[in-house]
């Protein structure tokens, strides 16, 4: 396991950095708030593989630390500052040295991190298995590869060979043990994606089946990207799924008609939620006469990918995390900070995604803002939330309600609850539009 020393006098920066690094690689993290403290830690732990340090700190700045370290070691050193490196003469002839500008939570930082630690970005975190939901495998005609069950952190047991079939009883047996995912090898996940392309191409399915498939595909993609990264295959399948959702929305102009066809399944709650946001938001946009194809595209894209920065654990805890966002203690914890940052992190990822239409990053960055400024990460008020983000935020609220109620709550019930809340600017217009669509 890699050993990393983070040096910064701001605790928040150290903690956020630690969370993000641990999200990327397995590592043992040391923290120091000054150059002197870092030096003491390094003396006791000379096996440290990398130092990431701020410059301006009381009790030993980054230059002091670098010079002292170089007296005995050539450990890689990342200087992490807002100013460019030429502002710091101490590093003029630095060796094994990289400069990264704040804010540090950028893809470029992780690229540097991976390169320093391994020389090969892929070698740091080689995926062994990709989780696939039982729901999705149930729908594939042939197994895409050998199927494994996870018994412990690194303990996977093969339960079926490629070419075999698993029958309903097999799935029920594992579902009863509260197992939600099986695992396949990465090479089989490409096969799984090919199957999903075929399934999404099927034309002789009704809307209910099509909804299930798009939802299951969202679920698979969230898992696949966790292990495979944002590979071309992952992006292609996502685009295909977005088109499928758009076609579905087109075929059912009434939101209530679509929601009636929903088959609620708690194993795919997150994916259902994303698909539902796509359908509701694109339908609202159409009814508002924002008829451009691009508008629907942007909303569907944002709906399926707005939480792309969350890991599987965060997704499984999504409802609990959202309930805690107002809690001061949670806001200060590393877990809370990472969660409160997730809209911006997701927007950053999508900015680099070539097929992502313009404005998607704004919708994604604002997807937890609220018209009364009580949202996060920026607490924007209704005037500063973009009109498309407003559509998304309302659609998300309705989708949450429907998914949580598992179909027992109607759109009219939700409108009764929310009509006095969404009274500002675009929000008022949007809820009136939903109200018309629900009648």
Stretch that binds Fe ion, among 51-59, 301-309, 382-390, 416-424 (CB under 5 A): 301-309
d(CA 337, CA 339): 5
Q: Please give the backbone phi and psi of residue 321, each rounded to the nearest 5 degrees, phi first.
A: -60, -45
Stretch that binds Fe ion, among 106-114, 186-194, 307-315, 380-388 (CB under 5 A): 307-315
Residues 439, 431: Cα–Cα separation, whole Å: 13
DSSP for 361-388, written as a single string = HHHHHTTT--TBS--SSS--BTTTS-HH
In the complex with Fe ion, which residue's Cβ is closer, 186 or 377? Answer: 377
The size of the interface with Fe ion (CB under 5 A), counted in residues, is 1
Closer to Fe ion by CB, 37 or 307: give it.
307
Q: How far is the CB of 305 from Fe ion (least distance, A)?
A: 11
Q: Which of residues 123-182 bind Fe ion (CB under 5 A)?
A: none
Instruction: With contacts defined by CB under 5 A, name the span among 3-11, 87-95, 305-313, 400-408 that binds Fe ion.
Output: 305-313
Comparing CB distances to Fe ion, the nearer of 193 and 365 is: 365
CB of 346 to Fe ion, least distance (A): 7
C-alpha to C-alpha distance for 254 and 287, rounded to whole angstroms? 10
Q: Least Å distance between CB 248 and Fe ion?
A: 23
Q: For the beta carbon of residue 407, count every other beta carbon within 10 angstroms.
A: 12
Terminal-to-terminal C-alpha distance of the chain: 59
- CB of residue 307 to Fe ion, shortest distance in Å: 4
Of 284 and 305, the one with the shorter C-beta distance to Fe ion is 305
Q: How far apart are CA 343 and CA 370, in angstroms?
A: 13
> In the complex, what is the shortest distance from the CB of residue 241 to Fe ion, in angstroms, rounded to a whole number?
19
Could you tell me the smallest distance in angstroms from the CB atom of residue 276 to Fe ion? 14
CB 26 within 8 A of CB 52: no
The H-or-E segment that residue 427 falls in is helix 425-438
Q: Could you give the CA distance from residue 94 to residue 66 in angstroms, rounded to a whole number?
A: 9
**Near Fe ion by CB under 5 A: residue from 15, 54, 146, 307:** 307
Return the residue nearest Fe ion (CB atom).
Answer: 307
Closest listed residue to residue 132, CA positions, set 205, 74, 190, 83: 190
Smaller CB distance to Fe ion: residue 319 or 424? 319
Token couple for 220? 């698979």
Residue 33 or 307: which CB sits closer to Fe ion? 307
**Residue with smaller CB distance to Fe ion, 134 or 364:** 364
Window contacting Fe ion (CB under 5 A); options: 264-272, 283-291, 306-314, 381-389: 306-314
- 297 alpha carbon, distance to own chain's centre: 19
Q: How are beta strands 147-152 and 50-53 bridged, if at all?
A: unpaired
Q: Choose between 307 and 397: whose C-beta lies nearer to Fe ion.
A: 307
Alpha carbon of 376 to those of 337, 380, 438: distances in Å?
11, 8, 29
Closer by beta carbon to Fe ion, 227 or else 307: 307
> Which residues, other chains included, contact 84 with Cβ-Cβ below 8 Å and sequence gap of 6+?
99, 101
User: Tokens in use for 85?
Assistant: 């490196």
Nearer to Fe ion, 211 or 303 (CB): 303
Minimum CB separation of residue 396 from Fe ion in Å reads 8
Q: Please say whether the beta carbons of 239 and 332 come within 8 A.
A: no
Residue 54 makes contact with Fe ion by CB under 5 A: no
Minimum separation from the CB atom of position 111 to Fe ion (A): 25
Tokens of 294: 């691009």
Question: Angle at which helices 11-24 and 334-351 pack, to 10 degrees?
Answer: 60
Smallest separation, CB 380 to Fe ion (Å): 15
Span of 58-66, 274-282, 303-311, 415-423 interacting with Fe ion by CB under 5 A: 303-311
Residue with tokens 């120091």: 32
Q: CB-wise, 54 or 307, nearer to Fe ion?
A: 307
Q: Are 17 and 42 in contact (CB under 8 A)?
A: no
Quote the least distance from Cβ 343 to Fe ion, whole Å.
6
The helix-helix angle for 411-418 and 425-438 (nearest 10°) equals 150
Site for Fe ion in 91-110 (CB under 5 A): none
* Piece of 71-79, 243-251, 270-278, 304-312 that binds Fe ion (CB under 5 A): 304-312
Total residue count of the chain as it appears in this document: 439
Min CB(299)–Fe ion separation in Å = 15
Point out which residues bind Fe ion (CB under 5 A). Answer: 307
């Amino acid at each position: 396991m890699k050993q990393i020393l983070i040096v910064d006098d701001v605790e928040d920066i150290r903690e956020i950095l630690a969370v993000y690094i641990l999200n990327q690689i397995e590592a043992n993290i040391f923290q120091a708030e000054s150059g002197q403290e870092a030096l003491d830690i390094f003396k006791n732990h000379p096996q440290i593989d990398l130092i990431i340090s701020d410059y301006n700190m009381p009790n030993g700045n980054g230059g002091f630390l670098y010079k002292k370290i170089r007296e005995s070691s050539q450990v890689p050193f990342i200087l992490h500052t807002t100013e460019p490196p030429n502002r710091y003469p101490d590093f003029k002839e630095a060796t094994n040295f990289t400069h990264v500008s704040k804010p540090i939570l950028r893809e470029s930082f992780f690229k540097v991190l991976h390169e320093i630690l391994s020389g090969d970005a892929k070698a740091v975190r080689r995926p062994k298995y990709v989780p696939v939901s039982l729901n999705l495998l149930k729908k594939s005609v042939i197994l895409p590869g050998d199927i494994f069950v996870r018994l412990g952190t690194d303990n996977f047991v093969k339960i079926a060979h490629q070419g075999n079939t698993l029958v309903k009883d097999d799935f029920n047996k594992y579902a009863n043990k509260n197992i939600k995912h099986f695992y396949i090898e990465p090479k089989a996940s490409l096969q799984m994606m090919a199957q999903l392309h075929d399934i999404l191409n099927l034309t002789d399915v009704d809307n209910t089946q099509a909804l299930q498939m798009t939802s299951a595909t969202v679920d698979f993609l969230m898992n696949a990207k966790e292990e495979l990264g944002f590979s071309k295959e992952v992006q292609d399948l996502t685009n295909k799924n977005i088109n499928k959702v758009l076609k579905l929305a087109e075929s059912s102009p009434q939101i209530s008609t679509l929601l009636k066809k929903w088959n609620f399944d708690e194993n795919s709650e997150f994916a259902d939620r994303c698909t539902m946001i796509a359908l509701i938001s694109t339908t609202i946009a159409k009814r508002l006469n924002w008829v451009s194809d691009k508008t629907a595209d942007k909303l569907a894209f944002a709906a399926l990918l707005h939480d792309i920065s969350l890991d599987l654990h965060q997704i499984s805890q999504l409802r609990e995390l959202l309930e805690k966002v107002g809690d001061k203690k949670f806001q200060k914890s590393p877990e809370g900070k990472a969660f409160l940052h997730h809209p911006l992190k997701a927007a950053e990822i999508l900015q680099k995604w070539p097929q992502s239409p313009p404005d998607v990053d704004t919708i994604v960055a604002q997807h937890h803002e609220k018209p009364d400024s009580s949202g996060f990460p920026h607490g924007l008020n209704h005037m500063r939330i973009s009109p498309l983000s407003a559509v998304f935020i309302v659609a998300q609220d309705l989708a949450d309600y429907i998914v949580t109620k598992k179909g027992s709550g109607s759109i009219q019930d939700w409108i009764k609850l929310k009509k006095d809340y969404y009274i500002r600017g675009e929000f008022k217009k949007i809820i009136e539009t939903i109200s018309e669509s629900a009648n």
